[in-house]
Homo-oligomer: A and B are copies of this chain.
């Protein structure tokens, strides 16, 4: 541990060092070149760039910088709870939710109380998906692995024997709700992928 003579800065540094562990949380998706699995820290950076570049596809008046804030913070709880892959049963289980809530308590709790409240609220806003910003953030979080799977010959769809119908149901509603024009452009690519693999 690094000890500084400033109690508030100490808490901030403890948190910033703790979240370095997000670099060691592995997701199911491969990175675009297929060489290895993606980790959650680099995934979070990629999503923030998605928000910066695709902001015009969100609902009117969505605050893109707030979306970025949500995306930077949204997966930090995975340090304690791990990644919950979309194609497995446990993704939305009570056990997963409990582990994430406990993780939020512990990890954001490292910060000074005012900042712990602020960052936890960002995570809760993302999870609730009720604000236009959170809905757009959720749509990007669903979109990015679709692109990585398409670039990796099916990726997690192939690994988990996901059907076209299952795929459209697991990605479509969330992407369409937050970024409809992007969904209408991407859906045909998913359909084309499944046509290709069914006619080798």
CB distance from A2 to the nearest CB of B (A): 6
- Interchain CB contact under 8 A, A6 and B181: yes
- Interchain CB contact under 8 A, A35 and B24: yes
Tell whether A161 is near chain B: CB-to-CB under 8 Å: no
Number of interface residues of A (CB under 8 A): 53
**In the complex, which of the residues B13, B32, B181 contacts A20, with contact meaning CB atoms closer than 8 Å?**
B32
Indicate with 1 or 0, residue by residue over A133-170, a CB within 8 angstroms of chain B CB atoms.
Answer: 00000000000000110110000000000000000000
Q: Which residues of B contact A72 (CB under 8 A)?
A: 45, 48-49, 52, 68
Q: Which residues of B contact A96 (CB under 8 A)?
A: none
- Interchain CB contact under 8 A, B19 and A46: yes
Find residues 185-200 in chain A having any chain B CB closer than 8 Å to their own CB: 185-186, 188-189
Majority SS at the chain A contact face: helix
CB distance from A82 to the nearest CB of B (A): 16
4 tightest Cβ-Cβ pairs between the two chains A and B: A45-B45, A20-B32, A41-B42, A4-B185
Task: Tell me the A residues contacting B by CB distance below 8 Å.
Answer: 2-6, 9, 12-13, 15-17, 19-24, 31-33, 35, 38-39, 41-42, 44-46, 48-50, 52-54, 57, 65, 68-69, 72-73, 111, 115, 119, 147-148, 150-151, 181-182, 185-186, 188-189
A-B pairs with beta carbons under 8 Å apart, 13 shown: A2-B147, A4-B189, A5-B185, A12-B54, A13-B147, A16-B49, A20-B32, A23-B46, A41-B41, A42-B45, A52-B69, A52-B72, A65-B65
